[in-house]
Amino acid sequence: MSSRRGSRVYNCVVVVICIALFIRLSVIFCWTPYCKSVLQSTLSNDHSSNMSSLRVVSSKLAAQIDQELMGPKIGFTLQQLMELAGLSVAEAVQREFPPAATRKGVLIVAGPGNNGGDGLVCARHLKLFGYDPVVYYPKRSSRTEFYGQLVKQLDFFNVPVLSETENWTQYLNPDRTLCVVDAIFGFSFKPPMREPFAEIIKRLHAVQESVPIVAVDIPTGWDVDAGPVEKPHLTPKVFVSLTAPKPCTNHIDPAKTVHYVGGRFIPQEFAQQHGFEQFDYKGVNQILKL
């Protein structure tokens, strides 16, 4: 009688151990991956909420902000904003590619519009920061006298400004050039790319792994909203959004590109009125890594 009770107790213990083992194994094999995937999706949600906290502004809002900044009520001039924009880009170059004893070369490729103007200003600041900048400026704009004045200032600083027919490709060489500043087109680019810029992009694309690209506001050829639509498209190592990131920055691969915001000319209240936070720039910095 007592031995039968003993074997029942023994059977119960074995069953309990089996159930416990089963639960333990199912936790290991089923729940752990599940928990992992839940955790991962939470993290990626966090990432996307970070993206939205970057306050990507639509191209329409970016244009409206520019108009207001340079409108009669606020009264900035284009020249003022361009000076701050170019200074920001020079600071990003300095942060990512400090000049070395043997290499100080930076090639700035400037387009015909205001993105190109930012590049001309950037070249002047780079010279002051101890680099040896060279500007390739194939299509010079006569839209305003101001672009001509920026070129005169570069002459004054002994910065070479190459015209369309000069040999600019000699600078696409990692032994002499730390990086290329892409100041060809910004938010007013409309595809398809026309010459000579299509050929220039091909050349930059071919060397971008060895001579890294610093994109001013928008990588040339990217659509301000849709991102890299043209082929081949540039993948900058450094991306400097001006005023605020535009929707195309959602196409940045953080493994390949460091993203900064620059162009520090928006007070807190103005940013809030337009639905985005002022970026938390530190001290006298003109750029903030995002």
Ligand X SMILES: NC(=O)C1=CN([C@@H]2O[C@H](COP(=O)(O)OP(=O)(O)OC[C@H]3O[C@@H](n4cnc5c(N)ncnc54)[C@H](OP(=O)(O)O)[C@@H]3O)[C@@H](O)[C@H]2O)[C@H](O)CC1
Q: Which residues are annotated as a binding site?
A: 114-118, 182, 186-192, 217, 220
Under the binding rule (CB under 6 A), the answer on residue 106 touching ligand X is no
> Rounded to 5 degrees, what angle do the CA atoms 191, 197, 202 make?
95
Under the binding rule (CB under 6 A), the answer on residue 81 touching ligand X is yes
- CB of 23 vs ligand X, minimal distance in Å: 59
- CB of 56 vs ligand X, minimal distance in Å: 14
Under the binding rule (CB under 6 A), the answer on residue 193 touching ligand X is yes
The contact set with K ion (CB under 5 A) reads 182, 216, 220
- CB of 119 vs K ion, minimal distance in Å: 8
Query: Strand 222-223 vs strand 227-228: parallel, antiparallel, or unpaired?
Result: antiparallel
Show contacts with ligand X in window 115-174 (CB under 6 A).
115-118
Count CA within 13 A, CB hemisphere, residue 32: 7
Under the binding rule (CB under 6 A), the answer on residue 111 touching ligand X is yes
Residue 218 corresponds to which tokens in the numbers above?
A: 């928008």
Binding-site sequence positions for (6S)-NADPHX: 114-118, 186-192, 217
Which residue is it, tokens 């060809």?
184
Q: How far apart are CA 219 and CA 251, in angstroms?
A: 11
Binding-site sequence positions for K(+): 115, 182, 220
- CB of 220 vs K ion, minimal distance in Å: 5
CB-nearer residue toward K ion: 115 or 177: 115
Residue whose beta carbon is closest to ligand X? 186
Phi, psi at 289, each rounded to 5°: -75, 130
Cis? peptide before 192, omega within 30° of 0: yes
- Per-residue x/- mask for ligand X, residues 245 to 264, rule CB under 6 A? ------------------x-
Cis? peptide before 191, omega within 30° of 0: no
Q: What is the CA radius of gyration of the chain?
A: 27
Q: How far apart are CA 185 and CA 53, in angstroms?
A: 26
Contact partner at residue 138 from K ion, ligand X, none, CB < 5 to 8 Å by partner kind:
none
Contact partner at residue 221 from K ion, ligand X, none, CB < 5 to 8 Å by partner kind:
none
- CB of 147 vs K ion, minimal distance in Å: 16
Under the binding rule (CB under 6 A), the answer on residue 90 touching ligand X is no
Cis? peptide before 219, omega within 30° of 0: no
- Type of residue at 70: M
Residue 57 corresponds to which tokens in the numbers above?
A: 């502004």
Residue 133 corresponds to which tokens in the numbers above?
A: 């900048």
Which residue is it, tokens 């009770």?
5
- CB of 101 vs ligand X, minimal distance in Å: 32
- How many positions of this chain bind ligand X (CB under 6 A)? 30
Under the binding rule (CB under 6 A), the answer on residue 54 touching ligand X is no
Which residue is it, tokens 């809030």?
272
> Which spans of this chain sit near ligand X (rule: CB under 6 A)?
66, 78, 81-82, 85, 111-118, 185-194, 197, 216-218, 242-243, 263
